[in-house]
Structure 1
Amino acid sequence: MPQIKQYLTPKQKALVVNLDPNIYGTFAEIGAGQETVRHFFRAGGASGTIAKAMSAYDKDYSDAIYGKEDRNRYVTQNRLRKMLHYEVKLIEERLTKPENSNKKFFSFANTVTTINYEKTFKGHGWVGIMFQAKPGEEYSEIVLHVKFNENDATLQQETLGSLGVNLVYGAFYLNDNPRRLIKSLYDEISIDKVEIDMIDFRGPAFEYVDNRLMSLQLIKNGMTDAVIFNSEGDNMLPADLLYKKDVFAVRGSFRPVTLVNVDMFENGLEMFLKDTGGKPEDTVILFEITIANLKASGDIDERDFLDRVDVLAKLGYTVMISIFSEYYRLVEYFTSYKVRYIGVAMGVNNLVMVFDEDYYKNLSGGILEAFGKFFRKDMRVYLYPYKDPQTHELLSSENLIISENLKELFKYFKLNKRIVDIKNYNPDHAEIYSREILNKIANQENGWENQLPEGVAEMIKERGMFGYKEDIEFEEY
């Protein structure tokens, strides 16, 4: 039997919006034509929906309306928000009258650059909407960033138009279910045509929305490879954060963050800054969790996810969630943003996995191809020692057992300082194991508190994180 679509087409969505007598607003589109509003004009009944449609394509004219931008950058989040707020202000000034008291006003905008003639740059853009979920209510906002994957400007414009319609429809009809709203953005759009790597919800319609969870939806739905948010929980555009910077990454499960994680990070970062001669302000520090790690016990537990990132946020760290199970893919991702130097801090166990050939069966060039992508001349592994809980032997790159056919490669990477040991580690942390701590937390055992950074144990107890349940004593009557 043919598969039945469970969603409306962009044309159908545009018509639904047009036929709603209470939805009324403006469209402002820069850089890729008026692709979204075109759908509403063609659907019919647009006169009751569209107050104005414009494309301030010329920079001078655009500047005259929305103001100039620093460094003449027009495809930015700041430009998009200026457009949205300016257009909403005009609506309020011109249409706030008793006869419009039942209207739900909106302003849709995008600022986009499509693929260049040489096809060396595929294009990207910002798309957003400010809208009233109820008449007279304060405005809510949805802003997202897209990266185009198609190799033709016309196709990219068509994709942008469909995406815009999906966003307008979703804002009004799916705002009570942001997860479904996010999925609906790809209605009638193939997942490989465009990437959404940042989304932000604000306003009364999304009062209880956690944008970190919305970032997680982008990963879960295959809409992007990685998302980043800071310690305040704000979603960040990877390109803005990473472009031409030095990057120092620490991968882990962080269930919970232990003194070992902090010791690895602090000492590894100190070595990285000395090696690169970089300044701390030019270095991006990321605590990375893979989606595979989040799924380790089955489906992603969103409470567990928030527990991890809340603790990292308390310590002031920026978090990255990625699909990159293999380290070489992580390094490839960083290099796509033209970063200068890359430092990766890892424990001995993780390095053993890096040298496991079974992980690279999907590559035609096998482990050699992976090593060529991972051990770049501008990348360095900072290796934290591991104390075997059975033998109590301390393992480092000096005594690590590598398979015979990879020993010479291992020596080569050490000789060329692609792998360096963290020497200045704290030996008192050598027997801290996160799994043991997690078991103690869940089983209400003592002795785990002093193995975590200051303030973390109190946070776990106060909020009942990682399965912690405070014992309740009942009085006898």
Structure 2
Amino acid sequence: MTQKLTPKQKALVINLDSSIYGTFAEIGAGQETVRHFFRAGGASQTIAKAMSAYDKDFSDAIYGKEVKNRYVTQTRLRKMLRYEVSLIEERLERETNPGKRFFSYANTVTTINFDKTSKGHGWVGIRFQSHQKEEYNEIVLHVKFVENDATLQQETLGYLGVNLIYGAYHYADNPRKLIESLYDDIALDKLEIDMIDFSGPTFRYVENRLMSLQLVKLGMTEAVIFNSEGNNMLPANVLYKKNIFAVRGSFRPVTLVNIDMFENGLELFTKDANCAKEETEVLFEITIANLRAFGDIDERDFLDRVDILAKLGYNILISNFSEYYRMVDYFATFTNKFIGVAMGVNNLLDVFDEEYYKNLSGGILEAFGKFFRKDMRVYLYPYKDQTTGELLDSNNLKVNTNLKELYKYFKINNRIVDIENYNPAYSEIYSREILKKIANNESGWEDKLPEGVAEMIKERSMFGYKEEVTYEEFK
């Protein structure tokens, strides 16, 4: 196993590479990244310019004004990166600088405030050339600071910047390794990276949704969001001050039951929240635990699931939240508006299982305090028992004896609401049976999925589907 380089060693390697040449523009937390390159030595052939356009008026004069005077944004970062690269190209002749691979590194951040009510966050990125004659690539990421001291946050930011620049030039052919290297000399509990985006010719085959998955898988963040176009989204931008309605499932594949639960649950939610559907952020959530249900995460299987959800037009949340209360608690960090969760009876029974909360000092009561918070409701979809044929809903499901009164309290106070307008014809649809039929190339599953999904599964041979080949076709 090769030993990891320190930030100083990484900076020196970059400085000693005569082909690498660029600028540093850092806003909001000093010049924490570039100082590593100055201190490492040999920086004169690497650093074209280092600046901190800290004053807003001066920064506006360089990069232009921002909508609503928001400076810690992805838009601002990309403006900085592209402006600085354009200056290099404008001011340096390629003929007199043969072999140079230009770059611009930038960050725009806000560290923890004086009252420690806002931990701080920021955008960090690099625009660079892998080869002199190649178009530029970009790596952009969003970070949330966890440390409670501004100086420590600045030091962490400096390490991250060095890791990013080194990774761009040494691990561009292996984005997974590049992502892992971002935490070299940084403990996971110091910094959270909740969004990353790769673009440019070097990354033309990189699937950014898989890169998002890596962030959750490696513990760099608890959750990531991407939209139906496959673009990684900043969770804060998607969820901030929104009504949130979530549906958790394996979606392997999405069935008419999932859609019926979602549509009827959302209908009830918008009435309870007194809001329009357009004012509500809808998320289909898949947990890492679900993706690992059959062993290691199968990335093809992961993409198959999210591609189907994307085809149906939904935003997708990938999370580390095995327990429902953690998901709701996460949403509550972004909004104080209504939160709704649609689930089946079996899932609600899990919520009322004390075994899931042994790691909490307050046990199930602590979990319920976070889950059944103000303006949060469960929308319960009935389940037909395959053995007995009994239809289970909130009125006849059986929770542990010691939790019956607690359950009654939540039900009486309308924190658990039955989805009554469900389609009874869907009560015989079970995703496991559908999966078995798909894998065994049996018929009779197609009409149990939303329109267009069966065709997609067949075209792309998803979930083990194999098209039958006739003897005539084989010949």
Same topology, TM > 0.5 = yes
| C-alpha distance after superposition, 1:288-308 (max 9, x if no partner) | 001000000111010110010
Q: Is contact 1:219–1:225 with CA below 8 Å preserved after alignment?
A: yes
Which amino acid in 1 is paired with 2:447? N
**Residue 357 in structure 1 maps to residue 354 in structure 2:** yes
Which amino acid in 1 is paired with 2:338? Y
Residue 432 (structure 1) aligns with: 429
Give the match's secondary structure for 2:428. Answer: coil
Which amino acid in 2 is paired with 1:71? K
Instruction: Give the drift of 1:343.
Output: 0.3
Residue 418 (structure 1) aligns with: 415
**Residue 265 in structure 1 maps to residue 258 in structure 2:** no
CA distance in 2, matches of 1:22, 1:365: 58
CA distance in 1, matches of 2:401, 2:217: 39
461, 465, 476: which is aligned to 2:462?
Answer: 465
Indicate the larger mover: 278-287 or 183-192.
Answer: 278-287
Which amino acid in 2 is paired with 1:315? L
Instruction: Give the drift of 1:404.
Output: 1.4
**Residue 333 in structure 1 maps to residue 330 in structure 2:** yes
**Residue 201 in structure 1 maps to residue 204 in structure 2:** no
**Residue 114 in structure 1 maps to residue 111 in structure 2:** yes
Residue 250 (structure 1) aligns with: 247
Residue 167 (structure 1) aligns with: 164
Give the match's secondary structure for 2:471. Answer: coil
Instruction: Give the drift of 1:5.
Output: 6.4
Which amino acid in 2 is paired with 1:284? E
CA distance in 1, matches of 2:279, 2:57: 33
Q: Is contact 1:332–1:373 with CA below 8 Å preserved after alignment?
A: yes
Residue 375 (structure 2) aligns with: 378
CA distance in 2, matches of 1:412, 1:321: 31
Which amino acid in 2 is paired with 1:438? L
Instruction: Give the drift of 1:228.
Output: 0.4
1:44-193 correspondence runs (5 A): 44-193=41-190
Instruction: Give the drift of 1:471.
Output: 1.2
CA distance in 2, matches of 1:201, 1:474: 46
Residue 444 (structure 1) aligns with: 441
Q: Is contact 1:386–1:395 with CA below 8 Å preserved after alignment?
A: yes
CA distance in 2, matches of 1:99, 1:216: 43
Task: Give aligned pairs, total.
Answer: 474
Q: Is contact 1:377–1:418 with CA below 8 Å preserved after alignment?
A: no
**Residue 369 in structure 1 maps to residue 366 in structure 2:** yes
Which amino acid in 1 is paired with 2:380? L
| C-alpha distance after superposition, 1:168-208 (max 9, x if no partner) | 01001100000000000001111111000000000001000
Which amino acid in 2 is paired with 1:173? H
| C-alpha distance after superposition, 1:301-353 (max 9, x if no partner) | 10110010000000000000001111111111000112411000000000010
CA distance in 2, matches of 1:401, 1:429: 23
CA distance in 2, matches of 1:96, 1:268: 62
| C-alpha distance after superposition, 1:187-245 (max 9, x if no partner) | 11111110000000000010000000000000111100000000000000001111111
CA distance in 2, matches of 1:357, 1:260: 28
Residue 474 (structure 1) aligns with: 471
Q: Is contact 1:380–1:418 with CA below 8 Å preserved after alignment?
A: yes
33, 37, 41: which is aligned to 1:40?
Answer: 37
Percent identity of equivalent pairs: 76
**Residue 226 in structure 1 maps to residue 226 in structure 2:** no
Which amino acid in 1 is paired with 2:96? E
CA distance in 1, matches of 2:382, 2:61: 59
CA distance in 2, matches of 1:254, 1:261: 8
Give the match's secondary structure for 1:98. Answer: coil
Give the match's secondary structure for 2:33. Answer: helix
Instruction: Give the drift of 1:375.
Output: 0.7
Any runs of at least 4 consecutive aligned residues in structure 1 with deviations exceeding 6 A, and if so which? none
CA distance in 1, matches of 2:62, 2:279: 34
**Residue 345 in structure 1 maps to residue 342 in structure 2:** yes
CA distance in 2, matches of 1:355, 1:443: 36
Instruction: Give the drift of 1:373.
Output: 1.0
Instruction: Give the drift of 1:97.
Output: 2.6
Which amino acid in 2 is paired with 1:283? T
Indicate the larger mover: 402-411 or 455-464.
Answer: 402-411
Indicate the larger mover: 330-339 or 305-314.
Answer: 330-339
Q: Is contact 2:142–2:194 with CA below 8 Å preserved after alignment?
A: yes
CA distance in 2, matches of 1:13, 1:33: 20
CA distance in 1, matches of 2:254, 2:336: 27
Q: Is contact 1:242–1:339 with CA below 8 Å preserved after alignment?
A: no
Which amino acid in 1 is paired with 2:354? E
CA distance in 1, matches of 2:238, 2:279: 10
| C-alpha distance after superposition, 1:243-263 (max 9, x if no partner) | 111000000000000000000
Q: Which runs of 5+ in 1 are unaligned?
A: none
Q: Which runs of 5+ in 2 are unaligned?
A: none
Q: Is contact 1:116–1:123 with CA below 8 Å preserved after alignment?
A: yes
Which amino acid in 2 is paired with 1:278? C
CA distance in 2, matches of 1:293, 1:391: 27
Instruction: Give the drift of 1:96.
Output: 3.5
| C-alpha distance after superposition, 1:26-57 (max 9, x if no partner) | 00000000000000111111110111100000
Instruction: Give the drift of 1:280.
Output: 2.1
Q: RMSD over aligned Cα, in angstroms?
A: 1.0
**Residue 406 in structure 1 maps to residue 416 in structure 2:** no
Instruction: Give the drift of 1:6.
Output: 2.7
